[in-house]
A = this chain, B = another copy of it.
Amino acid sequence: MINATSQSQNEMKATHNLSDPVNISQITRHADGTVGKALNILDIVEDFGKPVRFVQIMHRSPYPKPTTYRFLQTLTNQRMLALNPDTGHYSLGVRLMRLAHSAWKQASLAPVAAPFLDQLSKKTGETIHLAQLDGAQVLYLDKRNAIRPVSMFSDAGKVGPAYCTGVGKAMMAFLEADARNNLIAQQSFFKYTDHSITSAEQLEAELQQIRKTRISFDREEHEPNIICIASPILTPSGRVIGGISITSSTNRVSLENLQNYSDDLKSTADKIGEAAFQWMFPDTGGNI
């Protein structure tokens, strides 16, 4: 309850001092004209992790000064950015939150998956994650935590590296070959822990294994002591639409303990996949 403070407050450090080399921005996301360039500015502001001044943005911007300036004006005008008049600092705007709220409700798996997450959470008593792929990264959509209630945006919308998370590997494993290879090529293979996967070959081998069992593991690959099992969520046609995981700590359980939930996890994933499909095609093509 009370320590809900601790997490959120100290996150706002200066520049990238966190051990997080996540390359959020453009992996050759070649600018789709003016619109792409402008959106690129949003990523730059996001990357700073705090409100920033014009010069700082300009410094990182690939576009010349007046161009960057105009983009900032436009985006601010469009409320995609906010300009603090007291400080002259730009930050990401509220319109994004409004849009994201809609995105969460309409577009993502989250609403249909919610009851199933509740169920799994209740049964296991462990932390449950629901995630989706955002390019080469994993984006968390929802979370169930046994210990303390979640706190909104501070959990959903979070991104993580695909190659060293359970959900990430589970989803990657079931992509089509070309898409999968494309994503593998984009992984950083940063060594977060001693157990992190550090090469494409190693990852490919593991993905092949995952394809057989539909279960993937995180063996403390992202954070020490944090382990999980995960499974992909597939449509009946076999397309990956997300992933779920059960996460815990080595202090509490072993990987073998978690493995006991394999069947529950897979059946939950199946149920979510079906529910999502039903929702997309209410009566054999009605929604189309």
Contacts and interface: CB of A to CB of B under 8 A. Distances in A.
A29 B93 CA distance: 16
A91 B280 CA distance: 12
A136 to B, nearest CB: 11
Contacts of A159: 98, 101
A92 B99 contact: yes
A42 to B, nearest CB: 6
B11 A111 contact: yes
The residue among A5, A71, A112 with the most chain B CB atoms within 10 A of its own CB is: A5
Contact of A35 (B9, B71, B87, B93): B71
Number of copies: 2
Given A106-B49, A151-B142, A157 B1 contact: no
Contacts of A114: 4-5, 8-9, 151
Interface in A85-131: 85-89, 91-108, 110-112, 114-115, 118, 122
A151 B154 contact: no
A118 B4 contact: yes
Contacts of A288: 53, 87-88
A132 B82 CA distance: 12
A20 interface: no
Interface in A33-74: 33-36, 38-39, 42-43, 46, 48-51, 53, 71, 73-74
Band of interface residues on A: 35 or more
Given A42-B99, A94-B103, A142-B152, A77 B5 contact: no
A178 to B, nearest CB: 14
Interface string A11-44: 1100000000000100001001111101100110
Contact of A102 (B1, B92, B110): B92
A287 to B, nearest CB: 7
A258 interface: no
B93 A97 contact: no
A201 B209 CA distance: 69
Nearest to A155: B152
Contacts of A237: 86
Nearest to A285: B87
Interface of A: 1-2, 4-5, 8-9, 11-12, 24, 29, 32-36, 38-39, 42-43, 46, 48-51, 53, 71, 73-75, 77-80, 82, 84-89, 91-108, 110-112, 114-115, 118, 122, 132, 134-135, 139, 141-143, 149-159, 235, 237, 239, 279-281, 287-288
Please give me the 4 A-B residue pairs with the lowest Cβ-Cβ distance, nearest first.
A101-B157, A100-B100, A149-B149, A104-B153
